[in-house]
C-alpha cells in the first residue's frame, strides 16, 4: 500500500501512461514488421523452398496478434510495479531490447531477403527473450509466464528460419 508519504520513485506509473508505454511500442513493431513483410510474401517468400512443417501464411498474423497482446500485457504488469522495485528498470530494458530484435528480424529476413541475416537476429532474439523472462520472473511470475508462448513460437520460427536458410542457401 502506498501513502502520500511514500518515497519518491516508489509509486507505479499512472494507468494511462502505463498503458501507452506497454502498448504503443509493441504496436509500432507489429505494424512496421507487417509493412516490411507483407510486400515480400507473394513473390520472394512464396518462391523459397520451405519445409513441410511451415504453417500456412494466415497462421502468422493470428499467432503474432496473440503474442504481441501477451507481450504488451506482460510489460504492463511490470510497469505496474513501484519504480523503486529492484530489478524493474533492468526488466524494462530487457523487454525493449527483445522488442527491438523482434522488429529487426522482419527487416533482416524479409526486408533484406536474407534468411541468414534473419537467423542471426532470431538467435539473438531467443537469448533476449530468455533474459526478459528471467528478469520478469524475479518481479512478477505471471508476467514472465505470459512470455513463454512467445519464446515457444520464436523457437519454432528459429527452426523454420534455419531450415529455409539451409534449403535455399
| Measured distance CA(30)–CA(96) in Å, rounded | 13
What local confidence, expressed as pLDDT, does residue 3 receive? 38
Nearest alpha carbon to residue 135 among 103, 80, 83, 93: 93
What local confidence, expressed as pLDDT, does residue 97 receive? 98
Q: Give the three cell numbers for residue 167.
A: 534449403
Tell me how crowded residue 4 is: count the other CB atoms within 10 A of its CB. Answer: 4
How is the chain split into domains, by residue range? 15-46+57-168
What local confidence, expressed as pLDDT, does residue 9 receive? 53
- Looking at residues 103-115, what average pLDDT do you find? 98
Tell me the per-residue pLDDT of 129-165, one tens digit each, with 9 for 90 and over: 999 999 999 999 999 999 999 999 999 999 999 999 9
Q: Give the three cell numbers for residue 162.
A: 534455419
What pTM does this model have? 0.91
In this structure, what is the dihedral angle of CA atoms 62, 68, 69, 71, given to the nearest 10 degrees?
Answer: 140
Q: Give the three cell numbers for residue 26.
A: 509493441
Nearest alpha carbon to residue 19 among 82, 99, 77: 77
- Given a cut of 50, is residue 37 above it in pLDDT? yes
Q: Are 26 and 102 in contact (CB under 8 A)?
A: no
Close Cβ partners of 87 (under 8 Å, ≥ 6 residues apart): 135, 138, 139
Q: Supply the DSSP symbol for 2.
A: -
Q: Are 165 and 79 in contact (CB under 8 A)?
A: no
| Measured distance CA(152)–CA(116) in Å, rounded | 21
Amino acid at each position: 500500500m502506498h501513502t502520500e508519504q511514500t518515497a519518491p520513485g516508489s509509486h507505479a506509473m499512472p494507468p494511462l501512461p502505463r498503458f501507452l508505454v506497454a502498448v504503443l511500442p509493441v504496436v509500432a513493431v507489429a505494424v512496421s514488421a507487417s509493412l516490411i513483410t507483407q510486400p515480400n510474401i507473394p513473390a520472394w517468400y512464396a518462391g523459397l523452398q520451405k519445409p513441410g512443417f511451415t504453417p500456412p501464411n494466415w497462421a502468422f498474423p493470428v499467432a503474432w496478434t496473440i503474442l504481441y497482446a501477451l507481450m504488451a500485457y506482460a510489460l504492463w504488469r511490470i510497469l505496474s510495479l513501484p519504480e523503486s522495485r529492484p530489478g524493474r528498470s533492468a526488466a524494462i530494458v530487457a523487454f525493449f531490447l527483445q522488442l527491438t530484435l523482434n522488429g529487426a528480424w522482419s527487416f533482416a529476413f524479409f526486408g533484406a531477403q536474407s534468411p541468414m541475416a534473419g537467423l542471426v537476429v532470431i538467435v539473438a532474439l531467443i537469448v533476449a527473450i530468455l533474459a526478459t523472462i528471467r528478469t520478469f520472473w524475479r518481479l512478477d511470475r505471471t508476467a514472465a509466464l505470459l512470455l513463454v508462448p512467445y519464446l515457444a513460437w520464436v523457437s519454432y520460427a528459429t527452426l523454420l528460419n534455419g531450415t529455409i536458410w539451409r534449403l535455399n542457401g
